[in-house]
Structure 1
Amino acid sequence: MAAASNRLDRFLARRLQRSLKQIRLDLVKGRVKVDSELCDEPAQLVNQFTRIDYDGQVLQHNQPIYILLYKPVGVVCATKDAQHKTVIDLIDHPQKHQLHIVGRLDLNSSGLVLLTNDGRWSSALTDPKQKVPKVYEVEVEQPLTASYVTAFAEGMYFDYENLTTAPALLTILSTRTARVVLTEGKYHQIKRMFGRFRNPVLKLHRISIGHYHLPSDLHVGEWRKHYVKVAVY
Structure 2
Amino acid sequence: MRLDKYLCESTELSRANAKKCLHRGEVTCNGIVVKNSAFKVPDNCEVRFLGELVKARGLRYIMLNKPADTLCSNVDEVYPSVLSLLDIPKAYSLHIAGRLDADTTGLVLITDDGQWSHRLTSPVKVCGKRYRVQLAAPLPEDKIAELIERFASGIALKGEKALTRPALLEVLAPTEVLLTIIEGKYHQAKRMFAAIGNQVVSLHREQVGVIALDPSLRPGEWRYLTQDEIDSV
State TM-score, norm by structure 2: 0.73
Q: Deviations over 1:12-36 (max 9, x none)?
A: xxx999xxxxxxxxxxxxx976433
Tell me if the contact between 1:124 and 1:232 (Cα under 8 Å) persists in the aligned partners: no
RMSD: 2.6
How far is 1:102 from its partner?
Answer: 0.8
- Cα separation, 2, equivalents of 1:67 and 1:32: 28
- 4+ aligned runs moved over 2 Å, structure 1: 31-36, 56-62, 157-163, 227-233
Aligned to 2:181: 182
Tell me, yes or no, if structure 1 residue 35 matches structure 2 residue 40.
no
Q: How does 1:1-16 map to 2 (within 5 A)?
A: none
Bigger mean CA deviation after superposition, 174-183 or 78-87: 78-87
Matched position secondary structure for 1:129: coil
Distance 1:172 1:223, change over 3 A: same
2:94 to 86, 91, 99: 99
Q: How does 1:70-219 map to 2 (within 5 A)?
A: 70-144=65-139, 145-146=143-144, 147-158=146-157, 160-219=159-218
How far is 1:171 from its partner?
Answer: 0.5
Identity of aligned residues (%): 36
- Cα separation, 2, equivalents of 1:98 and 1:72: 21
Aligned to 1:41: none
Q: Deviations over 1:139-178 (max 9, x none)?
A: 1011123132121111023362432210000010001110
Q: Deviations over 1:174-226 (max 9, x none)?
A: 01110011111111111000001221100100001111111111101111122
- Cα separation, 2, equivalents of 1:61 and 1:224: 20
State TM-score, norm by structure 1: 0.73
Instruction: Give the counterpart letter for 2:116 in structure 1.
Output: W
How far is 1:231 from its partner?
Answer: 4.1
Tell me if the contact between 1:76 and 1:107 (Cα under 8 Å) persists in the aligned partners: yes
- Cα separation, 2, equivalents of 1:81 and 1:141: 31
- The number of equivalent residue pairs is 191
Matched position secondary structure for 1:158: coil
Matched position secondary structure for 1:149: helix
Distance 1:159 1:188, change over 3 A: closer
Instruction: Give the counterpart letter for 1:166 in structure 2.
Output: R
Tell me if the contact between 2:106 and 2:213 (Cα under 8 Å) persists in the aligned partners: yes
Tell me if the contact between 1:66 and 1:228 (Cα under 8 Å) persists in the aligned partners: no
Matched position secondary structure for 1:166: coil
- Cα separation, 1, equivalents of 2:43 and 2:231: 17
Long gaps (5+) in structure 1: 1-5, 18-30, 37-52
- Cα separation, 1, equivalents of 2:94 and 2:175: 36
- Cα separation, 2, equivalents of 1:72 and 1:65: 21
Matched position secondary structure for 2:173: coil
Instruction: Give the counterpart letter for 2:58 in structure 1.
Output: Q
Tell me if the contact between 1:103 and 1:113 (Cα under 8 Å) persists in the aligned partners: yes
